[in-house]
Structure formats: C-alpha cells, structure tokens
Amino acid sequence: MNRDGDDAGITSLGSLERQVVTLANGASVRLRPIVPADAPRLLALCQRLSPHTVYERFFSPRRLRPEDAHALANVDYRRRMALVAEIERGPEPEVIGVARYAPSGEGDIADVALVVEDRWQGLGLGSTLLEELLRAGARRGISRFSADVLTENGRALRLLSRHVDVTDRTTSDGVTSLVFRRRGDPPFSSGAAASADRVGMPAVALGGS
Ligand SMILES: CC(C)(COP(=O)(O)OP(=O)(O)OC[C@H]1O[C@@H](n2cnc3c(N)ncnc32)[C@H](O)[C@@H]1OP(=O)(O)O)[C@@H](O)C(=O)NCCC(=O)NCCS
C-alpha cells in the first residue's frame, strides 16, 4: 500500500485515469481515481467550500460527516467511480475538485456530481473533470448519465451543455434533471468504449504523470 492507500483495485486501473493537467492560471493539477485514504481530504475540501458551493453541490447547507467522506472515498471503480484533482501543498496533497458517478437507480444510467473548490473555479478544472469522468465511464461501458442541477445554477448547466448531448431535461421544484451522453457518442451504443478515444477534447492541456 502506498501513501495514497493504494490497493489492488486501483493498481489494476493502470495509468489511464492518472494525468497532470495545466489550468488557465498555469497551475499543475493531478487527476487520479479516488482512494479510501482520500476521506480526510474530502472532509478538508468540504470545509473549505463556500456555503454557496456547498448548496449548489448538495442542495442544502450540509457539511460532510466522517462517515459520509468514508463512503464517498470508497468506490468500486466500475459502477461507482470518482476522480479527484489534487495539488501539492505542504506534506500532504490537497484535493481541490471531485467528479463522481454512481448508479442512478434508473436502469443503466449513472448519476454524475461535480465540485471544484471556489478559488479554483473558472480555470477549466470542472470541464476537465467532467470530460475525464465521462471517458472513465465510457471505458466501463457506461454511456448514459444523469445529473440534477439547481435550475438557477447557470454555470453548471452551461458546463454540461458545452460537453454533453442532453437527451432528456425536466425541471421540478427548482431542480433541473438532465439525462445525457458524452458528446459524440452514438445514440444507441450499448457500450461507448469503442469511441472512447474519439471524443473528449480536454479544456486544458493534458500531460502524462
Ligand atoms: C460547476 C463547477 C463544477 C464548474 O467548475 P469550474 O472549474 O468552475 O468549471 P470551468 O472552469 O471548466 O468552467 C466554468 C467557467 O469558467 C470558464 N472557463 C473555463 N476554462 C477557462 C479558461 N481557461 N479561462 C477562462 N475561463 C475559463 C468557462 O467558460 C465557464 O464559464 P461560464 O460559467 O461563463 O460558462 C463549479 O462551479 C462548482 O463546483 N460549483 C458548485 C457545485 C456544482 O454546482 N456542481 C454541479 C451540480 S452537481
């Protein structure tokens, strides 16, 4: 086990979902699948989020409890997946963004959620996390996704509209629910893996890690 709490599950992912991206401000940010040892980093991230960002992510002023962070940091890398963005800061890396999907309960649709720490927003990180998450889903045969977004959350809705093909949109009680595919995926593909490398131009420069 390494310092990230790596285990056989994550080692078997190979390097596909590990990369370094350069944001619009020139900062280098590492993207990688989440590991169980990220639980305290998720708690720390949540504590640094503004109330507005917490509300947009969770639709309530809730803050993560340790047991929530533990659950969110433990995924099976198939039906339930999360990517984190981290920077080197002091002795421990700091998680500054997370993108995840999990079964939606509606057939084969995976539900997507995203958050980027306030001071790292507007630099292309949310776009990159979304692209890489959908690419990770495509590699696992997941081609249909959903997301619930506050209807007033124009930034998240714009971000999605720039990167995905929306196939269904409903609004109820101030929440807009979208069903979508990766942009460019064929509408009736049973598994999008074949097209995984055709699409998904990252918003920022990608380099190997
Ligand atoms: C939604 C969210 C994830 C977007 O993350 P982000 O890192 O700010 O996203 P991006 O930087 O890729 O895009 C955001 C804006 O920055 C702009 N931007 C992106 N790259 C840029 C760059 N290189 N230079 C300047 N601007 C840039 C985008 O055009 C976009 O502008 P717009 O809002 O006018 O459309 C983030 O705002 C967030 O965490 N919100 C709270 C949680 C939430 O709403 N989650 C979604 C529902 S689960």
Q: Which of 38-42, 73-77, 129-133, 186-190 has the lowest mean pLDDT?
A: 186-190
- Which residues have CB under 8 Å from 186's CB, separation 6+? 192, 195
For 50-83, write each residue's pLDDT tens digit. 999 999 999 999 889 999 999 999 999 999 999 9
Domains and CATH numbers, the chain: 8-191 (3.40.630.30)
The closest alpha carbon to 181, from 206, 198, 160, 202, belongs to 160
Q: Tell me if 146 CB under 6 Å of ligand 1.
A: no
Q: For residue 192, how far is its CA from the centre of ligand 1 (angstroms)?
A: 25
Percent of the chain with pLDDT over 90: 75
Could you tell me the two tokens for 82? 């999360």
The lowest-confidence range among 110-124, 169-183, 186-200 is 186-200
Looking from the CA of residue 97, the nearest atom of ligand 1 is 39
Confirm or reject: Cβ of 124 under 6 Å from ligand 1: yes
Q: Nearest CA to 140 among 11, 31, 17?
A: 17
Q: pLDDT by residue (tens digit) across 31-40? A: 999 999 999 9
How far are the Cα atoms of 167, 183, 193 from residue 187, in angstroms, in the given order?
9, 10, 13
Task: Pinpoint the alpha helices (H) of 12-153.
Answer: 39-48, 51-58, 66-73, 125-139
Q: Quick check: CB of 113 below 6 Å from ligand 1?
A: yes
What residues have CB less than 8 Å from 82, skipping those under 6 apart? 33, 34, 72, 73, 75, 98, 99, 100, 101
At 171, is the pLDDT very low, low, confident or very high (cuts 50, 70, 90)?
Answer: very high
Measured CA to CA, the distance from residue 100 to residue 78 in angstroms comes to: 11
Q: Does residue 151 have a pLDDT over 50?
A: yes
Q: Whose CA is nearest to atom 9 of ligand 1?
A: 126
Q: What is the mean pLDDT of residues 126-146?
A: 96
Q: Which 8-state DSSP code applies to residue 118?
A: G
Question: Is 121's C-beta closer than 6 angstroms to any atom of ligand 1?
Answer: yes
**Given a cut of 70, is residue 43 above it in pLDDT?**
yes
Residue 90, pLDDT score: 83
Which secondary structure element, helix H or strand E, spans residue 9, and what is its range?
helix 8-11
Residue 59 DSSP symbol: S
**pLDDT band with cut points at 50, 70 and 90 for residue 183:** confident
> How many C-beta atoms lie closer than 10 Å to residue 62's C-beta?
12
pLDDT score at 106: 93
Say which residue, 98 or 10, is predicted with more confidence.
98
Neighbours of 26 (CB within 10 A): 7
Minimum CA distance residue for ligand 1 atom 30: 122
Q: What pTM, to 2 d.p., does this model score?
A: 0.86
